[in-house]
Amino acid sequence: MQQRQWYRQFWPWFLITLPLCAVVASIYTLHLASSGADSMVVDDYYKKGRAINQDLSELQRAEQLGLLAELSYRDGQLALVMQGEHNNGEAVRLRFSHPTLADQDLDLLLTSDAAGVYRHRPEQALMEGSWNLQIEAFDGRWRLHQRIVLPIADRLLVRAGG
């Protein structure tokens, strides 16, 4: 009876394959970890912290003006109607910030039509889920902020101070 060489048997290859799979998986994991920056970590945290104080004054100004925004998102189109003591026809900045995916953020500068409605059709549909919404004057005098969940069923009211 003749014995086969080791490389023609099943068990040596099986025992070599297990550690080899672990090495390949660890190299792939290292590649994933080093290929992209963490968008949730802010480099200039001190500057961001100081900006929070300025944000509070803009939110208080919106409350003094009694601002109310009505947002709808139907058939891929955003529509925004502003109420309160703001300049009719002034441009507004609309920001959708995703809490974890910075590449999904949307920053728009909108002007109103003759009926006072701000409209925009994004190139790609907004992802469903939780978003941070900011509506502010183009010059930064006032700001509305609210955490929202997309899709919007009918319309969403964003009030100053609440």
> Using one digit for the tens of pLDDT, what is the confidence trace for 78-113?
899 998 887 777 899 999 998 888 888 889 999 888
Q: What is the structure's pLDDT at 15?
A: 93
Statement: residue 125 has pLDDT above 90:
no
What are 128's two structure tokens?
Answer: 């469903």
Q: What pLDDT is recorded for position 14? A: 93
Amino acid at 2: Q
Distance CA 158, CA 162 (A): 8
Q: Is the peptide bond before 99 cis (omega within 30 degrees of 0)?
A: no
Query: With 90 as the cut, is the pLDDT of residue 21 above it?
Result: yes
Cα dihedral across residues 50, 56, 59, 64: positive or negative:
negative
**What are the structural domains, with CATH classification, of the chain?**
67-159 (2.60.40.10)
- Using a cut of 0.85, tell me whether the model's pTM lies above it: no
